Amino acid sequence: MPAQSIWTLLSWGPDGWSDDIASGVLVTVALALATLPIGLAIGFFVAFAKQHEEPALRLAANIYTTVFRGLPELVTLFLFFFGMPLLLQYVVRLFEPEATIDVNSFIAGMIVLALIFSSYASEVFLSAFRAIPKGQYEGGYAIGLSKWQTMRLVILPQLLRIAFPGLENCWLSLLKDTSLVSVVNLAETLRNAGVAARVTKHSFLFYSVAALVFLVLAILSSVATGYIQRSLGRREAR
Amino acid sequence: MSVSQAIAVDRPPPRARGWPRVRIIGYALVGLWSLFGIGIVAYLVHAWNADFFARYAPAYLQGLATTLSLVSVSMVAGAILSLPVAYGRMSKNRILSGLAYCYVYFFRGTPLLVQTYLVYYGIGSFRPELQTVGLWWFFREAFYCGVFAFSLNTAAYQAEILRGAIESVPRGQWEGAASLGLHKLQTLRKVIMPQAIIVALRPYGNELILMIKASAIVAIITVYDLMGNAKLAYAKSFDIQAYIWVAIVYLVLVEILRHGVEWIERRITIHLKR
C-alpha cells in the first residue's frame, strides 16, 4: 500500500477522515448546546437559593456547588456513567426483576456537564445577584408587581447583562469539557480524531486537527458572544 | 433619636415564622442531601470489604503521591515558563506580544485532554526523530508527557494571572518608584510585586485547584495517579466503591486547599482591614 499523503487522509469520503471528524464536531456542538439551557436553568436556581434569606435553602445550594466544583470532571463522569446504571437497575428491579439498564453516553455526558456547568454558572449568577441593589426589588413591589413578576421583568434583564461575561467563560469551559465525554465512548470530535489517529498512525496530524476544531469553535463562539453582548448593551437604559 | 432606636433601625428584619414555602423546599433539599450522604455511607459500610481495602488502599496512597508530584512539578515549571510569556504579553513589541497572545490563546482555547494526547500520542509518534535527538526517554514516559503538557497549559493561565496582577497596580506606583531612583527590576521586586501578590493569590489558588482536578486526565494516558489507580481497581473488581473512594479523596484534597488559600488571603490582607 503506497503511503497516503496527508491530503488524502484529510479528504472527504471513504479514504479521508474529514467526514468522520465533521460528524464528531456536530456531536460536540450538539452536546454543548443541549447542556447549555439545562445548566443555565439549574445555575440560576442554585444562585437564587444561595442568596435567599432562608438558611436551609442556602445550605442545600452550597453543598451542591462544593461537591460539583470540588470533584474532578472525570471522576464525576465515571461515577455517573458507571454508578447511575447500578442505581437505576436497583430501583427498576424492584418492579421488573429482569430489566437491564444501559446509559447512553450522550445523556450521561449531558447530565454531568450540566452539573459542572451549573455549579460554575451559579457563582457567576450569585455575584450578579449581589450587584443588583435592593431598591430594584422594592421599586418592583412598590408599583404592584408580584415577586415572580419583579424577578422576571425587573431583575432578570439586569442580571443577564451583568452575568454575561462570566457566563461566556463558563460556556468556553463547557465547550472544552465536552472532550472528556470521549473517554466514555461518545463519538465526538476527539474520539473520532483518536480513531483516525490509531488507524492511520498519523497521531500528530489528527490530534492537531482536533485542537484546531476546538480553537475554531472558541473563535466562533467569541464572535457570537460579542454580537449578543452588543445587542444586550443596546437595550441598556441610559 | 435615642441610641436604642438607632440600633433597632439597623437590625435586619425578623425571619418569617412558621413554615413558608421556601423553608419547606429548603428543608426538603437539605433532607435530600443528607439522605444522599447517608446512602453513600450506608453503601460503603454495607459493601465494606477488608480484602478490597487491603489490596487497593496502598495503591491509592501511591496514586495520591503521583498526583501531588505531577501537579507540583507542573505548577513550578509552569510558573517559570509563565514569566517570559507574561513579559511578552505586556511588551510593546508587536511581534513579541503577538506570539505570546497566540501561545495563551492556543493553550486556553483547546481542551487539556487534546493537548495531553497531542504530546503523548502526537509527539510520541515521531519516535525515530526523537531517538536521534536523544529525547525519546522523555516522551516515552507517560508521566513526563503529562508533566510537559500540564506545564505548557498552566503556563498560559499563570501568565494571564501574572499579567492581570501586575497591571492591576496603578501606573503611579511605577512613576513614584522611578522618581525615587529605583530601576525597573527593583521597582518590580520591592514595589509592584508585594501589591500584585495580594491580587494574584486567589487566582493562583484557583489554578492550583483546577490543576489538581485536571490531573485526573493523565489516568487516560496510562499514568497511575489517584484516578489511574481507581480505574485499575474498578477494572479488576467491577466495584463502584473504587470511584466513590477516589471522589472522597479528591473532594477532601480540594476543600483543604480552598480553605488554606482563604486562610492565607486573610493573613496577608490583614493590614487592609479596618
Burial of B238 (0-12, 13-18, 19+ CB in 10 A): exposed
Q: Which residues contact A170 (CB under 8 A, 6 or more apart)?
A: A39, A43, A117, A120, A121, A124
- Selection from B3, B57, B240 nearest residue A82 by Cα: B240
**Residue A197: its H or E element:** helix A189-200
What is the Cα–Cα distance from A171 to A173, expressed in whole angstroms? 5
| H or E element that contains B233 | helix B226-237
Q: Considering only residues B181 and A10, tell me which one the structure prediction assigns the higher pLDDT.
A: B181
Q: State how far the Cα of B202 lies from the Cα of B151, in Å rounded to an integer.
A: 19
Beta carbons of B238 and B105 less than 8 angstroms apart = no
> What percent of chain B stands above pLDDT 70?
94
Q: What is the 3-state composition of chain A as percent helix, strand, coil, each rounded to the nearest 5?
A: 80, 0, 20
**Mean pLDDT calculated for residue range A54-60:** 91
The string of DSSP codes covering B135-153 is: -HHHHHSHHHHHHHHHHHH
CA angle B66, B68, B70 (to 5 degrees): 65
Top-confidence residue, B226 or A8: B226
Cα distance from B52 to chain A (closest Cα, Å)? 18
Question: For residue B27, what is the nearest residue in chain A, using CA coordinates?
Answer: A56
Q: Which residues contact A92 (CB under 8 A, 6 or more apart)?
A: A99, A101
Q: Which residue segments constitute the domains of chain A, with CATH numbers given?
A: 25-186 (1.10.3720.10)
Across the A:B interface, residue pairs with CB atoms under 8 Å apart total 143
Q: Percentage of chain B with pLDDT > 90?
A: 64
CB-CB contact of A182 with A191 (8 Å): yes
**A174 vs B83: CA distance, rounded Å:** 28
DSSP assignment of A4-32, as one string?
PPHHHHTSSSSS-SHHHHHHHHHHHHHHH
The answer to whether A78 contacts chain B (CB < 8 Å) is yes
Looking at the complex, does the CB of residue A179 fall below 8 Å from at least one CB of chain B?
yes
Please answer yes or no on whether B250 and A180 come within 8 Å at the CB atom.
Answer: no
Question: Does A223 lie at the interface with B, CB-CB under 8 angstroms?
Answer: no
Average pLDDT, chain B: 89
Q: CA A134 to CA A147: how far, in whole Å?
A: 13
pLDDT digits (tens, 9 = 90+) for B142-152: 999 999 999 99
Question: How many CB atoms are closer than 10 A to CB B135?
Answer: 13
The mean pLDDT value for A62-90 works out to 90
A3 pLDDT above the threshold of 60 = no
> Does residue B239 surpass a pLDDT of 90?
no
Q: How far apart are CA B270 and CA B250, in angstroms?
A: 30
Element of type H or E holding B78: helix B50-90
Q: Is the pLDDT of residue B12 over 90?
A: no
The rounded mean pLDDT for chain A is 89
Q: How far apart are CA B68 and CA B113, in angstroms?
A: 19
Using a CB-CB distance cutoff of 8 angstroms, which residues of chain A are in contact with residue B17?
none
The answer to whether B29 contacts A215, with C-beta atoms less than 8 Å apart, is: no
Judge: B23–A54 Cβ closer than 8 Å, yes or no: yes
**What's the CATH code, domain B53-272?**
1.10.3720.10
Sign of the four-CA dihedral A11, A14, A19, A24: negative
CB-based contact B195:B169 (threshold 8 Å): yes
Q: Is B194 a residue whose pLDDT tops 60?
A: yes
- DSSP summary character for residue B122: I
Taking the CB of residue B106, how many other CB atoms lie within 10 A of it?
Answer: 18
Query: For A72, which of B106, B213, B234 is closest by C-beta distance?
Result: B213
Rounded Cα gap, residues A50 and A128, in angstroms: 12
State the cell numbers at A218: 472558541
Closest CA to A20 of A199, A189, A179: A189
pLDDT score of A1: 42
B174-182, long-range: CB < 8 A, 24+ apart: none
Collapsed DSSP state (helix, strand, coil) of residue B45: helix
Q: Which three cell numbers stand for residue A144?
A: 404592584
- A138, A178, A184, A204: best mutation site toward chain B, by most B Cβ within 10 Å? A204
In angstroms, the CA A81 to CA A72 distance is 14
Q: In which element (H, E) is residue B162 found? A: helix B142-167
pLDDT, one tens digit per residue, over B200-215 is 999 999 999 999 999 9
Q: Three cell numbers at B193?
A: 510585586
Give me the residues of B, 89-108, that contact A with CB < 8 A: 105-106
pLDDT at B91 over 70: yes
Q: How far apart are CA B222 and CA B231, in angstroms?
A: 10
Q: Which 3 state secondary structure label does DSSP give A232?
A: helix
Interface predicted TM-score (ipTM): 0.89
User: Is the pTM here over 0.90, yes or no?
Assistant: no
Enter the C-alpha cell of residue A194: 483518536
Cα Rg of chain A (Å, integer): 22
Kindly tell me if the per-residue pLDDT of A200 is higher than 60.
yes
Question: Is it the case that residue B252 has pLDDT exceeding 80?
Answer: yes
Over the stretch A108-150, which tens digit does the pLDDT of each residue have?
Answer: 899 999 999 999 999 999 999 999 999 999 999 999 999 899 9
Interface of A with B in 16-55 (CB under 8 A): 49, 52-55
- Cβ pair B114, A214 in contact under 8 A: yes
Helices (H) and strands (E) in chain B, counts: 13, 0
